[in-house]
Structure 1
Amino acid sequence: MATAFPTSPNADTKEYTSVINTPDTIIGATKVHHVEDAADAINIELTDDEIKTMEELADKANINTIRVWEKEMK
């Protein structure tokens, strides 16, 4: 069963559009290659140095990379 959710108005026409949400819809993926690229991302392996660099950059940008279920490492 599809459900339509109102979204923000179109800036040009001021008309509201709807997003149809069905069980086979992936929000944010509008093309097959988007889903394929996301699936391929599971094969990416980062080195310890790459992870360290990303965490340092996140800290500098004041981005919290710890999720709710994770405990802060000290």
Structure 2
Amino acid sequence: MDLILIRHAQGEHSINFPMSLDIRHPGLTQIGKEQSRIFPDKFILKPEDIVIVSPTRRTIETANIFIKEQKVNI
């Protein structure tokens, strides 16, 4: 069994630093959304794989894009 950890793609809190650290529940930037679409080229999900996501908006958005691009049902 492999364990692969993927951190979220670029979030809104990482641009315009340090003022952007005050953003409540930052989502993904457009670049972050594009980065999330690249993950499926690097990591192929199998039906028996489990995706565990932290409860932050940017991480959930990253996982949703990754899974959608993989055409995997969650």
The structure with the largest strand share of the pair is: 1
Which is higher, the Rg of structure 1 or of structure 2?
1
When normalised by structure 2's length, the TM-score is: 0.27
